[in-house]
Structure 1
Amino acid sequence: MAKVEVYIYCGRSVLLGFLLLLSGALRSQYALHILSVDKDSSFISSLGLQGDFKTDIACAEYIRKLPALMQSRGYIAASVDSVHFDSTAARVYLFAGNQYRWTRLNTDSVEKELLAAAGWNKKDFDNKNLQIDRVQSAQRRLLEYLENNGYPFASVELDSIRMENETVLASLKVVKGPLYKVDSIRNMGTASISPRFLQRYLGIMNGSIYRKSQLQSISKKISELPFLEEKQPASLSFLGTGSIVNLTLEPRRSSQVNVLIGLLPATTTSANIYDPPRNKLQFTGEATINLRNALGNGELIGLNWQQLQLKSPRLNLVYQQSYLFGSAFGINFNFDFLRKDSSFVNINALVGAQYAVSSNQSGTVFIQNQLSNLLTVDTNAVIQNKRLPAEADVRSVSIGVMYEGFNTNYRFNPTRGNEWFISAAAGTKKIKRNNVIVQLVDKNNPSFNFNSLYDTVRLQSFQFRVKAMFAHFFQLSNVSTIKTSVTAGWFESPNIFRNELFQIGGYKLMRGFDEESIYASQYGVSTVEYRYLVGRNSFLFSFVDFGWARNKAASGSVSNSFLGAGLGLALETKAGIFNISFAAGKRNDLDFNLRQSKIHFGFVSFF
């Protein structure tokens, strides 16, 4: 009866405190006086219980948890007999009872290897105060270990419990049950996907032992695949000592067609020097085709064409295949072609062997072949300056490694977690003598040999290239997050030319500037971006980008700092994702000019 009266009394007090809170009757300090029913006052002082609270609501909540707190210290019969509240303090009458200690918690019947694997420490119990929460925690660890090592029907409990003279003696009883293995993964949905891909991606191979944690992670992992979705959660069919994982997977529209068209002002001049320059509009655009899981093996086949700058088309081809032949290895092929107006052509081919450490981490070893050829040479500048131009005919071969991963809570629109990427490559490069330069003749100095200009550079040398990115998401609430990221690149070689440099700037990196308008041998860009989620894959955002770049090309070394800021929207519709953003940028030697602000918009259609 005493316990019933206590709970009713506490409930009324909490209700009263809640009403006071709503009416605005808050106090800066609320006291709790604890009086012992069966002990002296020094006993209460020795417990070190909390006595001051900001509000009576907080005090009432602490009183509600007081019996459990006492039981965790070995006073297993502790209870609150009565509570009295007034405007400034609460008075509690506490029954403590006797403090019990473990005489021994017998684990002789449990395998020592099992106890060690679960982190069981005998010293936590023998001749220690009885702490129920610690016992329960140890039992949970044992049960979780068994459930993740093939025993789905295991049980862990205390047996033969005896209480004598304020001491407790008990035995730990562990019943494993039968060992279960996973025979196969079965997809009962309409999605076309290789079973070997699912086994590797989910980490559940045919014949592997049952692991509860792997089954619990299936839904999250499937949600991070762009081409599959669950129609209903995974289930398990037990057959003797084997089991079948049942999935109901449907295809998700993920293959992508993306077309962007824009207009860029361009100035043209007439052959007649007396005609003024004319301003025309130049069409720019980008087209992307990404086919995901088209062959049912989780592969990616991609094509991207873009012309974001005047007379500078770019073509990129990519093929990625993970879990080749059911193994943890995959292949990666990338081809990139860039024509930079009438200056040069860059061709970059990369072939890599990928190893999946897990479903969210992978490493790659690759070989990269880069070729850059000049299209035109400013011969007048070469003759006048008697030095090589800023660009050169270069060919290089490099071997590198790449590592990337993530641990975000949702792959495509995260609110917390990390993303990272790093790539490092080293190799040799050769500078080819350009026939146009070699054959030049200076009419004012016919004896000068322009072939000698190549004596000022190392025709065969090394090169080293590193790129890295790290991002962290700070969750502010269920619908808002702050993304912080750092992206950096470093290119090193005895002689560096303009057509070898990184090209940054634009929507992907350093917003507020023209696409790929910043040439850099070294760069760093940090970003702070606030996102407000309006859907699973939709959000409003505002951002600030801080950047630094150094250009160590043959023409000299120049460093600049950059600042970009803006806002935008990513909105998911039934047909695809609509993106629009506005950004303004400033370089350290130039003022902000809102007339030079950039607007980027596009539509990504999935099928």
Structure 2
Amino acid sequence: MKFLIIFILLSSSLLFNAQQKEFWVVDVQTSKKVLVKDSAAAVRFLDSLSQNSFYLTELKKVTQDGNKTEIYYDKGKDFNEVHVNLSDEIQKNAKLQRSFFTKNLDSLKKEISENYRNRGYAFNRVKSKFIGMKDGIPQVQVSVIPGNQRKIDSFEFRGYEKLPKRFVKNLEKEFRGKIYEDKNLVQINKSLQNHPFLLLDKPPQTLFTKDSTQIFLFTQKKKSNTFDGIIGFGNDKTDKFTFNGSINVNFRNMFNSFESINIYWQRNPDRGQTFDLKTDIPYLFGSNVGTNINVNIFRQDSTFANVKFIPGFYIHLNNRQKLGVRGTFETSTVMDSLYTGGKDYNKKGIGAFYEYLEPSEIELFLYRTRIRAEADYISTNYSKENQNVAQNNFYLFGERNFHIKANHYLNLKGETAMISSKNEFAANELLRFGGWNSLRGFNENSLYADFYYYGNAEYRYVTGNQAFFDIFGQYAQLNNKTLSLKPKFYSFGFGFNFFLPIGLMSFQISNGNEFGNPIKFSDTKIHWGILTRF
């Protein structure tokens, strides 16, 4: 029929060669008219019907009236509306009835094919066979040629290939042998998304051979070294205006082993200073065991100084989770003989920790989920009193970014810590919190407690994945049984974060006080910081 249509229309075009012609195709069933460009377009229109469900499309007649040509056709029965009979295999795997009527055969075939692809049959073919008419309805037998089931066999990295062997093995351990399907490809992509040391140039690509299925990952080495500087403005305990701040420098993955060295220094308005050095090597000798070492020095003006050494070892449960053990060695010396609240002491202990990090799709947020839990058993010796005391230390931190809708997000964060003992604690061994990274409306490390907790709720509005504005509120409570204090605090404020050519800039204005006390403008804290990657 196709050749007959072409012959009639081309002949008509040659016989009536005017300056402007109109070609109309007319459905004899509905009298619907469609204007087409020329005779060739009319042929393509009718041909498309015969190839898409209307297999029995028939040309009825062609009329000519001046420059107007009308092509009448009967598209016949829509073979997309059929009564389907499924093979036993399809019925079992797709969980469909054996025989039923459908108004869209093409959609059904696509659904069946998708079902087989999700079970690893990437090259399945769904076939339909016309077996006759019954009561004016086409009868179709649907079957499938599944082909070989595909499973993920291996990974190939292109671009940045100097990766720790154990990291690659862990990735293969998590995904190798799994069925090749879109869901697993998305999980592979997510597992490397916003990785601290890797950038994916494009989604995972697949190479199929006769006997294997390889996943190709095109990666770049991320600029992961960072410099983070924070400047704070506020009043100290005497209401004197002071500057304070911190410097945080991270050297990461310089030797292509995902190692990191972190140097942190902080000065608070009350003349306290903190120096912290951390090193982390995630894959010792190509194993799944990592180590981290932490040296922390805190000095409160000329009153006392604490030195803490914490070596630890951990095992990678997977790419996001760590479980480890650690030791604690701490020494504190009171330098001011008039300071009666402190004591000289030495501490030794052992503990365990767990860490979970889930990257965020929004680079501004750094993490989607972050959890850290610690528990330590500590033996404390007060040298001047010649007294040994057992202590238990606990710490828990959790943070999560929730996507509300569109550009709106909610950040929820909480932290709690406790030290417990039968004896009273010296002032220089109490927990310290407050400031930029905890209770923002207060000076850095200005709150002392043997137990505390705080919660943070922060609304974030993201603009173009380059900036976000936030409004936050915080609630906290501490317990200092030495001073018989159980105050409750609040903090609130607003700020913004956005990318500049030199890095991520943060600006925050906050205020806070104890419940029952009025808000003081003089207690307002201003923090400005920049995070630069190099």
Q: Residues 234 and 526 of structure 2 are in contact (CA less than 8 Å); yes or no, is this contact kept in structure 1?
A: no
Q: Secondary structure at the match of 1:523?
A: strand
Matched with 2:62 is none
Residue 292 (1) aligns with residue 262 (2): no
CA 1:380–1:290 in structure 2 vs 1: closer, same or farther (change >3 Å)?
A: closer
CA distance in 2: counterparts of 1:7 and 1:565, whole angstroms: 67
Q: Aligned-pair distance for 1:313?
A: 2.1
The structural deviation recorded for 1:592 is 0.7
Tell me which amino acid in the other structure corresponds to 1:125: Q
Q: Which residue of 2 aligns with 1:501?
A: 430
Residue 193 of structure 1 corresponds to which residue in structure 2?
162
Q: Do the aligned partners of 2:348 and 2:379 also contact (CA within 8 Å) in 1?
A: yes
Q: Secondary structure at the match of 1:140?
A: helix
Tell me if the contact between 2:244 and 2:269 (Cα under 8 Å) persists in the aligned partners: yes
**Inter-partner Cα distance in structure 2 for 1:366 and 1:136:** 52
Residue 513 in 1 paired to residue 513 in 2?
Answer: no
The offset of 1:373, in angstroms, is 1.4
Aligned residue for 1:580?
507
Say yes or no: does 1:369 pair with 2:321: no
Residue 530 (structure 2) pairs with residue 603 (structure 1) = yes
3-state SS of paired residue (1:145): coil
The letter for the 2-side match of 1:460 is V
Indicate the residue corresponding to 1:430 in structure 2.
380
- Determine if the alignment matches structure 1 residue 251 to structure 2 residue 221: yes
Q: Is the 8 A contact 1:506 1:515 kept in 2?
A: yes
Question: Do the aligned partners of 1:429 and 1:460 also contact (CA within 8 Å) in 2?
Answer: yes
**Structure 1 residue 175 corresponds to structure 2 residue 174:** no
Task: Verify: 1:480 aligned to 2:461, yes or no.
Answer: no
Q: Distance in 1 between matches of 2:333 and 2:471?
A: 40
Note closer, same or farther for the CA distance 1:350–1:427 as it changes in structure 2 (3 Å cut): same
CA separation of 1:380/1:246 partners in 2, compared to 1, >3 Å: closer, same or farther?
Answer: closer
After TM superposition, give the deviation of residue 369 of structure 1 in Å.
Answer: 0.4
Over residues 523-565 of structure 1, what are the superposed CA-to-partner deviations in whole Å (9 max), with x where a residue is unaligned? Answer: 222222121223424211111112222223xx24311111111
Alpha-carbon distance between aligned partners in 1 of 2:244 and 2:461, rounded to the nearest angstrom: 31
1:510 partner SS: coil
Please identify which structure carries the higher strand content: 2
Structure 1 residues 479-488 or 170-179, which shifts more? 170-179
Separation in 2, partners of 1:596, 1:362: 40
Deviation at residue 106 of structure 1 after TM alignment: 3.7
SS in structure 1 opposite 2:486? strand
What is the match of residue 453 of structure 2? 524
Higher relative CO (CA 8 A, sep ≥ 6), structure 1 or 2?
2
- Flag the 1:257–1:109 CA change in 2: closer, same or farther, 3 A: closer
Where does 1:429-448 land on structure 2 (aligned, <5 Å)?
A: 429-434=379-384
C-alpha contact (below 8 Å) 2:164/2:258 kept by paired residues = no
SS in 2 for 1:141: helix
- What's the counterpart of residue 88 of structure 1? none
Task: Give the equivalent residue in structure 2 for 1:393.
Answer: 345
Give 1:507 shift: 1.1
Q: Does structure 2 conserve the Cα–Cα contact (< 8 Å) formed by 1:347 and 1:371?
A: yes
Paired residue total? 461
Report the Cα offset of residue 354 of structure 1: 3.2
Aligned to 1:569: 496
Q: Does 1:308 align with 2:258?
A: no
Deviation at 1:579, TM superposition (A): 1.4
Report deviation, 1:239.
Answer: 4.2
| Cα deviation, residue 584, structure 1 | 0.8
Q: Residue 24 of structure 2 aligns with which residue?
A: none
- Aligned identity (percent) is 19
Q: Summarize the Cα distance change of 1:182–1:598 in structure 2 as closer, same or farther, 3 Å threshold.
A: same
Q: Does 1:406 align with 2:358?
A: yes
CA RMSD in angstroms comes to 4.2
Q: Does 1:463 align with 2:392?
A: yes
Match of 1:141? 115
Distance (whole Å) between structure 2 residues aligned to residue 484 and residue 337 of structure 1: 30
Deviation track 1:300-324 (CA, whole Å, cap 9, x = no partner) reads: 2211122224442212122223355
Q: Which amino acid aligns with 1:287?
A: I
Closer, same or farther in 2 for the Cα pair 1:306/1:6, shift >3 Å? farther
Equivalent pair of 2:164/2:256 in contact (CA under 8 Å): no
Alpha-carbon displacement from aligned partner over 1:245-285 (angstroms, at most 9, x marks no partner) = 444433333211234456777799xxxxxxxxxx9987644
1:573–1:418 CA distance, 2 compared to 1 (3 A) = closer
Alpha-carbon distance between aligned partners in 2 of 1:460 and 1:162, rounded to the nearest angstrom: 91
State how far apart, in whole Å, the 2-side matches of 1:587 and 1:248 are.
Answer: 53
Q: What displacement does 1:331 show?
A: 2.7
Return the match for 1:125 from 97, 116, 119: 97
1:506 CA drift (Å)? 0.9
Residue 127 (structure 1) shift: 7.2
* The one of 460, 463, 467 aligned to 1:534: 463
Provide the secondary structure at the position in 2 that maps to 1:508: coil
TM-score, normalised on structure 1? 0.64
Change (3 A) 1:169 1:280: closer
1:136/1:496 CA distance change after superposition, 3 Å: farther
Letter of the 1:211 partner, please give it.
Y
Deviation sequence 1:479-529 (CA, Å, 0-9, x none): 222223333233322224233333221111111110111122222222221
Equivalent position to 1:107, from 71, 80, 88: 88
Q: 5+ unaligned residues in a row in structure 2: which ranges?
A: 1-26, 35-80
CA contact (8 A) 2:362 2:465 kept: no
Q: Is contact 1:200–1:323 with CA below 8 Å preserved after alignment?
A: no
Look up the equivalent residue of 2:358 and give its one-letter code: F
What is the distance in 1 between the residues matched to 2:263 and 2:82?
72
User: TM-score, normalising length from structure 2?
Assistant: 0.72
Cα distance in 2 between the residues matched to 1:525 and 1:401: 20
Question: Is the alpha carbon distance of 1:226 and 1:204 closer, same or farther for their aligned partners in structure 2, counting shifts above 3 Å?
Answer: same
Q: What amino acid is the match of 1:486?
A: G
Deviation digits for residues 364-420 of structure 1 (CA, Å, limit 9, x no counterpart): 222130414131465585xxxxxxx45552413022131323374446427xx9524
The one-letter code sitting in structure 2 at the alignment partner of 1:602 is: G
8 Å Cα contact 1:184-1:206 kept in structure 2: no
